[in-house]
């Protein structure tokens, strides 16, 4: 790809697949809705150069659930960045990674995509430990002349929905203090919230993407399901660091 061309990505998150393709998640079949999303991506004229997957690929952490997911990733024939969420089993996820799928880093032209692991064992909240923060700093400084996008599962910002803000990234202030001096960080993408979100902090575009299965109602103090359909996000990146993005809803 010529560096002058725009880069197209798709972002999917919170698939919640299980060992059985017939298992339900909050009264929907997540494997079916996940396949609806992948089918939409494949049939669209909007052809992505890479795929970002920000966690909760699995709902039960099984090897079979990751194989079910990754077999579909492979069919897209593009690089994939895939990081764990709080429902994932990191060991099984890593075991199932295949060629062209990374849990850490993807580099395409003038852009670097850094994956972070915010998951905690038996805890729905997220946390970036010292190793993750150190690795992030190393990657940023190694690629100081490229545009950088950071991908993580837990939201590093408040989204005005108390129950899920309570289980977001615990050390969000430390995270932003670490990255604020780097001017080449252009975007942050996350999952976990099962709803659409966008904001901007210190000239960094920040995006939350809805789930490929069930959505959560925004701006709620307590957990409440929404009636919106499965979705994914399209992202277009320009060489000058500009990000354009929108959400695609899958209306059956």
Find the CATH number of the domain harbouring 122. Answer: 3.60.21.10
> What does the pLDDT look like over 163-198, one tens digit per residue?
999 999 999 999 999 999 999 999 999 999 999 999
Give the Cα separation of 48 and 108 in Å (integer): 12
* 171-to-132, 165, 178, 181, 192 alpha-carbon distances in Å: 12, 12, 11, 17, 16
Q: Is residue 103 part of a domain?
A: yes
Look at residue 158 and tell me whether its pLDDT is greater than 70: yes
pLDDT value for 248:
98
Counting the structural domains of the chain, the total is 1
**Mean of per-residue pLDDT scores for the chain:** 94
Question: How would you list the strands of the sheet with 204-208, edge to edge?
Answer: 105-108, 111-115, 147-152, 185-190, 204-208, 197-201
**Is the predicted pLDDT of residue 40 greater than 60, yes or no?**
yes
d(CA 31, CA 22): 8
202 in a structural domain: yes
- pLDDT tens across 223-234, in order? 999 999 999 999
Cβ(198)–Cβ(155) below 8 Å: no
Residue 222 lies in a domain: yes
Q: Report the pLDDT value the prediction gives residue 252, as an integer from 0 to 100.
A: 58
The pLDDT-based confidence of 251 (bands split at 50, 70, 90) is: confident
| Residues forming beta bridges with residue 3, ordered by sequence position | none
Answer whether residue 76 is part of any domain: yes
List the structure tokens of 209.
């993407």
pLDDT at 210: 98
* DSSP E strand boundaries for the chain: 7-12, 50-54, 80-83, 101-102, 105-108, 111-115, 147-152, 185-190, 197-201, 204-208, 231-237, 243-249
- Each residue's pLDDT tens digit, 146-157: 999 999 999 999
pLDDT tier, 1 (very low <50, low <70, confident <90, very high otherwise): very low
**At residue 4, does pLDDT exceed 70?**
no
Would 40 be classed as within a structural domain?
yes
pLDDT of 69 strictly over 80: yes
- Residue 14 — φ and ψ, nearest 5°? 55, 60
Query: Would residue 63 count as lying in a domain?
Result: yes
Task: State which residues form the domain around 148.
Answer: 7-249
Say what the pLDDT of residue 72 is.
86
Q: In this predicted model, what pLDDT tens digit does every residue of 9-24 receive, in sequence order?
A: 999 999 999 999 999 9
Please check whether residue 1 lies inside any domain of the structure.
Answer: no
Q: How far apart are CA 69 and CA 223, in angstroms?
A: 27
What are the tokens at 191?
């999952």
Q: What letter would DSSP give residue 242?
A: -
Structural domain contains residue 174: yes
């Amino acid at each position: 790809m010529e560096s002058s061309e725009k880069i197209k990505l798709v972002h999917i998150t919170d698939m919640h697949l299980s060992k059985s393709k017939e298992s339900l998640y909050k009264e929907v079949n997540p494997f079916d809705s996940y396949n609806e999303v992948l089918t939409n991506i494949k049939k669209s004229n909007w052809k992505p150069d890479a795929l970002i997957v920000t966690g909760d690929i699995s709902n039960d952490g099984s090897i079979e659930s990751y194989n079910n997911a990754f077999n579909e990733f492979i069919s897209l024939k593009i690089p994939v960045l895939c990081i764990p969420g709080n429902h994932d089993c990191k060991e099984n996820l890593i075991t199932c990674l295949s060629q062209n799928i990374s849990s850490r880093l993807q580099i395409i032209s003038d852009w670097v995509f850094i994956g972070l692991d915010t998951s905690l064992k038996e805890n729905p909240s997220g946390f970036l430990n010292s190793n993750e923060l150190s690795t992030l700093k190393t990657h940023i400084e190694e690629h100081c002349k490229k545009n950088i996008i950071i991908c993580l599962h837990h939201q590093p910002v408040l989204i005005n929905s108390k129950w899920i803000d309570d289980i977001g990234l615990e050390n969000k202030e430390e995270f932003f203090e670490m990255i604020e001096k780097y001017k080449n960080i252009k975007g942050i993408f996350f999952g976990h919230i099962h709803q659409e979100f966008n904001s901007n902090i210190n000239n960094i575009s920040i995006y939350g993407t809805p789930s490929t299965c069930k959505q959560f109602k925004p701006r709620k103090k307590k957990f409440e399901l929404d009636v919106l359909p499965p979705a994914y996000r399209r992202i277009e990146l320009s060489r000058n660091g500009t990000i354009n993005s929108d959400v695609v809803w899958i209306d059956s």
